[in-house]
Structure 1
Amino acid sequence: MQRPLTILTRRADFLAANKGLRIARAGFVLLALPNGGQGKRFGITVTKRIGNAVVRNRMKRRFRALLREKLPTEGLPDHDHVMIGREGGIERDFSLLREELTVALARATAGKGDPPRRPRGAGRGTGRGAGGKVSRRP
């Protein structure tokens, strides 16, 4: 019997998902990480860079609907799935987002993730100018 989907609520689970498989699409980034037999779980993150609260909540509702539709059949068993909203995601057609999620889940199932992100600040200085103050570059 299949366990119901559960929602990630702890920050530690979201941070741990960053160590897993990463599949980037135009409207979102999908993270997948084995969770040690806790069933299929999902979480959604949309940052303030995307827009105001109305825009962010609309994007989260769309992602929630997609995940509840696709994860039971196409999601990885005993994995945490985290969707991170990208700027283009709110304007994208819902059917296009559905297709992108199907492709992303298929890639995750095959173990074909995108290369890992470089660490923040890698290749750059500390960001501090003279006097130890943080420089504000445009």
Structure 2
Amino acid sequence: MNYLAQIKRLSDDVEEEVVLRINGLEVTCFATVCPYKIEEGASYQVELTAQVFNEYLVSELDEDASASIVQIGGSFSHVITGRLSGNRLEAGAIVFEDDVLLSDFGYLEGKMIAWKIDRIDAEFLSDDFRK
């Protein structure tokens, strides 16, 4: 999904690490495509993609669970909590799409779930899409 994201922090240690503020949430991402120089405090159009490199870890939660995106330690991994709707996981103001959610976990349709991912990729869209 595409979002207008403000750069909150660029990492001094990992060139691809960027902390974005999107719809009031701060998310640590891996900048996979960045065709121009980005600066802290500036806003850019980005496309977010959840990446799972091996096994999908998805669990059903109680209906009163709150939507969230929680970073695991200082890694790029996160646990995304939200409501499953087809191939979309609605984690509050941020939505992630993945066809495996539908094909392998469709039986959890409409339920609150937790999904452990390896990282969130941020693709900075071309200058034509910048704001």
TM-score of the alignment, normalized to the shorter chain, above 0.5: no
Larger CA Rg, structure 1 vs 2: 1
Tell me the TM-score normalized by structure 1: 0.23
Higher helix share: 1
